Structure 1
Amino acid sequence: MDQEIKKQEAEQQPDVQKSALRELWEFVFDLVKVFVIAAVIIFPVRYYVAQPFIVSGSSMEPNFYTGQYLIINELAYHLHDPQRGDIIVFKYPKDTSQYFIKRVIGLPGEKVKIENNHVIIYNQQNPNGFTLDETYLPSTTQTLPVGNGITTLGSDEYFVLGDNRIASSDSRFWGPVPRNDIVGKVLIRAFPFQDFKKFDSVNYQAAQP
């Protein structure tokens, strides 16, 4: 009797080992499948739709501070052109290995004039110009011109300024940003969590100068 029981146990042991091995392979296969699916989803999102950007410098204060973590929408400008007021990340025209964050002020074909602490835009709709009402800036902000303060933009050029106008290297100093150098639009300020904010389009109220 004992011999029969031992024989049955010996016959069952390989089946138990096979079952455990099969479960291990199924687990490994499921794990690989999860990683593949995640890669298929995350890779295009990370490289073609949205990517992180960490703020460095004071040029966009008080709206952005060094160390804040932003999510950039890279897909947006494949669907439409940058709009006035958009906060963008772009390649610095003088050194495309560097990335800057600024606000779009002037659009292609427009003339931008900085005068009396104001930004004035001239275009086909407003040949006499209109002054931007920049409500996102502190009332004490000083917008000072460089040179004669006038920039005429080409068909694919954008005039950008930092929100911290007295501490920003921007289009006043090194000229417009070519369309092809724009990486994407700031979508979300994600970190620190207490500073979380989604950024929408700016609705400017135009006032005649």
Structure 2
Amino acid sequence: MYSVTETKKKNEWFEWAKAIIIAVLIAFFIRSFIFATSIVEGESMNPTLESGERVIFNKAIYLINEPSRGDIVIIQRPFKNYVKRVIALPGETIEINGSNLFINGDKYEQSFLGEDAQRRTGNFGPIHIPENSYFVMGDNRAISKDSRNGLGFIDEDDIIGRSEFIIFPFNEWSRTR
């Protein structure tokens, strides 16, 4: 026969076990469907993001919205994920002439870039972006592998989230949008 204290202890352990299991399930759900982390590799997004920084990205945002121009997105590829900025949207025409970016013939100001990065972009296009595809570039245009030179057009299904925060190193914690 169990004493009252033994029964209380068993109930207490059972309650703790339930709480831990629920916490693990909630964390798994959030990690799988809402937020995840990614490590920036390389210098293609300098100065916005630096190599080694860890970012939190929102996986749920594109279930209800579509990527917008200027979004910093995570692109899933078979052996590596890429962090790039959306420059042109489906159905648009893009042309780069020196430091000038034109979308559908209109000059687009790239306020997120420094003057030096704009000068090093080079010439490209004009090229039409197919439906359900996006044109992305890194902010460090001179060395970025992006839609101009290796990644090609990015299918909407390959964009798995939008970068929201830099969380590491801790002294550089900030929003990425």
Asked if 1:131 is matched to 2:116, the reply is no
State the TM-score, normalizing by the size of structure 1.
0.78
Asked if 1:168 is matched to 2:144, the reply is yes
Question: Structure 1, residues 163-182: CA drift from partner, whole Å, max 9, x if none?
Answer: 00011000001311000100
Equivalenced residues, count: 174
Equivalent residue in structure 2 for 1:98, among 74, 80, 99? 80
Pairs within 5 Å for 1:66-81 = 66-81=51-66
* Contact 1:68–1:191 (CA under 8 A) maintained in structure 2: yes
Task: Please state whether the residue corresponding to 1:190 is helix, strand or coil.
Answer: strand
Asked if 1:119 is matched to 2:101, the reply is yes
* Contact 1:87–1:185 (CA under 8 A) maintained in structure 2: yes
Match of 1:206 in 2: none
Match of 1:48 in 2: 33
Task: Please state whether the residue corresponding to 1:43 is helix, strand or coil.
Answer: helix
Match of 1:198 in 2: 175
RMSD: 1.6
Match of 2:14 in 1: 29
Q: Relative to structure 2, which stretch is displaced further, 150-159 or 23-32?
A: 23-32
Percentage of identical aligned residues: 31
2:33 partner amino acid: Y
Larger Rg: 1
1:144 partner amino acid: G
* Contact 1:60–1:164 (CA under 8 A) maintained in structure 2: yes
* Contact 1:149–1:172 (CA under 8 A) maintained in structure 2: no
Q: Relative to structure 2, which stretch is displaced further, 163-172 or 30-39?
A: 30-39
* 1: CA distance, partners of 2:40 / 2:6: 50
Equivalent residue in structure 1 for 2:90, among 96, 108, 123? 108
Equivalent residue in structure 1 for 2:135, among 154, 159, 180? 159
Which has a greater percent of strand?
2
State the TM-score, normalizing by the size of structure 2.
0.92
Which has a greater percent of helix?
1
Consecutive unaligned residues of structure 1, counting only runs of 5 or more, are: 1-13, 123-128, 201-209
